[in-house]
Chains A and B, each alone.
Chain A
């Protein structure tokens, strides 16, 4: 008997030790989803906590009853009551229809309001003209960021000023991707021929990891980029520096650039043709050969 106790104590201490090591290891990691640096990501994280908290009202009773009943009514315990034909109880059954319904109603309310409040298309400030606009194009397998108001563009990284509302216009010249910067805001799909939008703002300078979250082919794992959030003055300096560089981006050059390639190099462009984004989306509306010349037949519903 004593021998057995000793073994249990050793096993337990090994488990405790492992848990301690594991916790130390975990604390060294950056839980990007739970460690937001932007107002959108912050609210999204709070929603995760809220849903988790409300769920506990069901989870805790379930686990408690499971362990309690399994222990108390085990076959070897002949002391406990045995009622083999007790198979219904209107009150109890009503309780577990009603209580989860109430919880879901509460969570449903938050779902509805938060879906509207955190709609990625919704501008963060009413005067949307003051937002910084960035057009994002997912290429095979890189990211291109176009600043239409500054007429510059960057590849595989971008910078934005802190405490500024940024609107991203997102499309793809490749298969579907998903644009995601976990510490600033949730993701949204980047689809060829379509425009999606994402609004966010960061309240702390720093470099945040961005990535494609949707499979797009062999270079998909490589589609990461850095979002460098800097002070406003640093941002303006950087814009001027990029403008001064001598690397223009025309639509022709863009087409050249968008050929499939696994490449994580960082490139700056100045003198950017600001119609690239619209031209790219419209290129998916082109008619087939036979109807190319006959524009009269064009469908009025097309974009």
Chain B
């Protein structure tokens, strides 16, 4: 009987339901939220609409929007985690021990890091790439639309698994990169680390597929005439990012799999003893992890290149050096991973080499900053919300860069590694660099996707709240690091006098939270005023790239006629020099919606869950289902349909009428 039960449900048992109130409360509130959302959709009879128009849509713009919605939800979930962490640290001093147990605290910071990087930042990045990239290179769609939707659903499945861990079992308490031997079975016997492994494994495969997809899209489906040197900067940054994904993500897949084999099959890759080598794990995970940081930041660089040039009403300064800098960053990003563990005692030669390589990366980054600054030179700068994010970015990224250069000197790193100084450094880069960049991009391209602009006043308020909140939240951390405070502590001695700094940092998180609130408010207010904010021209900012040459919101077929490109900043030239020619419209083939992808995603959740709990029959069944669906899809003879020229003409004419109204 027991054998049968363990066959049926693996390691699952009654104890899987969390016993501590905090976790249970979080799980219950998430479930309640989901049920509430489902009820509203049912009440409005929107299920069919959602399924037909969104969940199965292979339109890259809709996929992009879905990515962004999920990533914003995850940003909020990760933000709540951050609030809990600072709440604990502000109150857990001396004889007081805070409201979280050490174990729960460790789960919260592990979840915070994992969610923010994989599901907030990566999600928003793929969202923006999906929204913009095909439009910018004059393409009808990505190279593999079905694969694109599948990537999204794998990302979604990974996200679901992380959140399932709240209610069934627990999450990893070994930090966001789960260094062994702490993450090995001996020290983490619960399923937490397995949840971590499988959510990242599934989402990671989605990312890898997206990388292959967009890499192919850029190299194969650009509009005629758009050679690589005529490609917009954002497209260049995506090309670099995707090539990093192609080289980095397989390493993650391998590393996670080996850790899982250690935990499940009793192998000895990273165990202490029996020939395992935990230093190898740290090397492998950072051989992925360092490029990952650049995967996130490069698209932000690309966005700023578009934003600064547009709102300075000038061409981007130094196109050639910009591309050169991007490519050198891409190459160099694979030569610096060891700076994450100078303190492992690898020896002076190794440390010295990686220290110098790390500093060398600062050179092309500096070049980019100066090029942006000189794009503003002799321009007409409009202080729009997107531009404010750029100013905030330069202000913070420079400080973060200095901290980075200091950390790159190995003996200085011995004093700052694993301290809150380090935490403050990478948050400066990832919030001030990555997130600010994505926010700039979202407000910049919003009218192209939705057809109306975002409210400027609330957008600026959002920026100020984020910026001030950031300073309040992270300047204390720089100070705490210099005081000798390490990351991940849930308790410290009162005599150290650190409490006021942690309280200020906590207040900073609250200010950022209000920034998120205002951001949501901005979207609500803009939606209600969408008529007055309507973008009739399709080119609200006087842009330079192809996406601004088509109507807003962009039609589902993107371009009525495939543009032929003669220069970079082509649309800028079109508006100023070349006369418009009549459009020659042909019938086009469009990909059909695809219900296979969401089913693959949902099945992946079951697969991941089964792997976590060792329910082998379920794992096999789900794997079988996924393979069967794929086979069915690949045998589909006609995955596309014909969109007739008449229909396109009708839609385009409607747009012209709308434009004149």
| Interface set of A (CB-CB < 8 Å, partner B) | 25-26, 28-34, 41, 43-45, 47-48, 51-52, 54-56, 58-59, 62-63, 65-66, 69-70, 73-75, 80-89, 92-93, 96-97, 100-101, 104, 107-108, 110-112, 114-122, 174-176, 178, 180, 182-183, 185-189, 191-194, 196-197, 209, 211-222, 224, 283-288
B415 touches A186 (CB 8 A): yes
Name the B residues within 8 Å of A187 (CB-CB): 343, 414-415, 417-418
Q: Which residues of A contact B369 (CB under 8 A)?
A: 62
Cβ 8 A contact of B356, one of A26, A108, A196, A211: A108
Name which of B279, B313, B374 has the most chain A CB atoms within 10 A of its CB: B374
Instruction: Report chain A residues within 8 Å CB of B410.
Output: 111, 114-115, 118
Interface set, chain B 173-230, CB cutoff 8 A to A: 173-175, 179-182, 187
Residues of chain A contacted by B402 (CB below 8 angstroms): 51-52, 55-56, 59
Q: Which of B279, B341, B371, B413 is A186 in contact with, Cβ under 8 Å?
A: B413
B523 CB to nearest A CB, Å:
26
Q: State whether the Cβ of B380 lies closer than 8 Å to any Cβ in chain A.
A: yes
Q: Which residues of A contact B345 (CB under 8 A)?
A: 120-121, 188-189, 196-197
- B315 interfacial contact with A, CB 8 Å: yes
8 cross-chain CB contacts under 8 A = A26-B479, A29-B483, A48-B409, A84-B313, A89-B318, A121-B347, A188-B344, A221-B489
- Give CA–CA (A103, B597) in the complex, Å: 51
Within 8 A of A (CB), among B479-493: 479, 481-484, 486-493
* CB contact between B491 and one of A84, A108, A222, A283 (< 8 Å): that residue: A222
Q: B556: CB under 8 A from chain A?
A: no
Q: Chain B 592-618 against A: per-residue CB contact (8 Å), 1 yes, 0 no?
A: 000000000000000000000000000
Contact B318 A114 (CB under 8 A): no
Interface flags, B470-484, vs A, CB<8A=1, else 0: 000000000101111
**A42 and B344 alpha carbons, distance in the complex (Å):** 21
Contact with A along B322-360 (1 / 0, CB 8 A): 000000000000000000010111011101100110011
Inter-chain contacts of A81 with B (CB < 8 A): 378
A66 close to B348 (CB less than 8 A): no
- Report the bound CA distance from A114 to B417 in whole Å: 17
Residues of A within 8 A of B394 (CB): 62, 66
How near does chain A come to B265, taking the closest CB pair, in angstroms?
Answer: 14
17 further contact pairs, Cβ within 8 A, besides A59-B398, A86-B377: A25-B497, A30-B484, A33-B421, A51-B412, A70-B376, A70-B383, A73-B379, A88-B320, A96-B367, A175-B180, A185-B414, A186-B414, A209-B484, A215-B182, A218-B106, A221-B491, A284-B273
Q: Is the CB of A224 within 8 A of B412?
A: no
Q: Which residues of B contact A121 (CB under 8 A)?
A: 345, 347
Smallest CB-CB A-B distances: 8 pairs: A186-B414, A32-B484, A115-B352, A87-B315, A175-B182, A192-B272, A118-B411, A218-B102
- Let me know if A186 and B382 touch, CB within 8 A: no
Q: Secondary structure of the A side of the interface?
A: mixed
Chain B residues, CB < 8 A from A108: 355-356, 359-360
Given contacts A41-B415, A96-B370, contact A70 B391 (CB under 8 A): yes
Cα A178 to Cα B103 in complex, Å, equals: 20
With a cutoff of 8 Å between Cβ atoms, the chain A residues found around residue B496 in the complex are 29-30
Residue of B nearest to A285 (CB): B273
List the B side residues contacting A51 at CB < 8 Å. 402, 405-406, 408-409, 412
A102 (CB) vs chain B CBs: closest residue: B363
Q: How far is the CA of A283 from the CA of B274 in the complex (A)?
A: 10
CB distance from B280 to the nearest CB of A (A): 12
Question: Nearest-CB distance from A203 to chain B (Å)?
Answer: 17
The DSSP consensus for interface residues of chain B is helix
Q: What is the total of A-B residue contacts with beta carbons within 8 Å?
A: 297
* B29 lies within 8 A of chain A by Cβ: no
The CA of A294 and the CA of B106, in the complex, are separated in Å by: 43
How far, in angstroms, from A288 to B349 measured CA to CA in the complex? 36
Q: List the A residue with the shortest CB-CB distance to B491.
A: A221
| Chain B residues in 8 Å Cβ range of A69 | 373, 376-377, 381
Q: Are B391 and A87 in contact, with the CB atoms below 8 A?
A: no
Q: How far is the CB of B446 from chain A (nearest CB, A)?
A: 21
B297-337 interface (Cβ within 8 A of A): 312-321
Neighbouring B residues of A41 by C-beta, 8 Å: 415
Which residues of chain B (399-439) have a CB below 8 Å from chain A? Answer: 399, 401-402, 405-406, 408-419, 421
Contact between chains at B490 and A93 (CB < 8 Å): no
Task: Decide yes or no: A82 and B102 within 8 Å by CB, A92-B374, A186-B343, A217-B187 being known contacts.
Answer: no
Measured CA separation A189–B418 after assembly (Å): 11
Closest A residue to B109 using CB positions: A215
Question: Once the chains bind, are B491 and A182 in contact (CB under 8 Å)?
Answer: no
A55 neighbours in B (Cβ, 8 Å): 401-402, 405-406
Contact partners of B321 in chain A: CB under 8 A: 93, 97
B479 with A221: CB separation less than 8 A: no
How distant is the Cα of A211 from the Cα of B415 in the complex, in angstroms?
12
**B417 and A44 within 8 A (CB):** no
Contact among A45, A84, A104, A220 with B415 in the assembled complex (CB-CB below 8 Å): A45
Contact B378 A73 (CB under 8 A): yes
Q: Which of B314, B348, B383, B489 contacts A115, CB < 8 Å?
A: B348
Q: With contacts A121-B345, A182-B415 known, is A33 near B483, CB below 8 A? A: yes
Question: Which residues of chain B have C-beta atoms less than 8 A from A222's C-beta?
Answer: 491
Residue of B whose beta carbon sits closest to that of A287: B274
Measured in the bound complex, the distance between the Cα atoms of B495 and A29 in whole Å is 10
Q: Are A115 and B483 in contact (CB under 8 A)?
A: no
Q: Check A87 against B314 for contact (C-beta < 8 Å).
A: yes
| B483–A48 touching, CB < 8 Å | no
B65 part of interface (Cβ distance < 8 Å): no
Least Cβ–Cβ distance between A41 and chain B, in angstroms:
7
Give the docked Cα–Cα distance between A170 and B130 (Å). 50
Contacts of B363 in A (CB 8 A): 97, 100-101, 104
Bound Cα distance A197, B419 (Å): 20
B513 at interface, CB cutoff 8 A: no
**Chain A residues near B413 (CB-CB < 8 A):** 186
Is residue B395 within 8 Å, beta carbon to beta carbon, of the partner chain? yes
Known: A189-B343, A189-B344, A221-B490. A104 touches B359 (CB 8 A): yes
User: A30 to nearest B CB, angstroms?
Assistant: 7
A66 — nearest CB in chain B belongs to which residue?
A: B394
Answer yes or no: B449 CB below 8 A from chain A CBs. Answer: no
Which single member of A101, A114, A122, A193 contacts B272 (CB below 8 Å)?
A: A193
Contact between A88 and B497, CB atoms less than 8 A apart: no
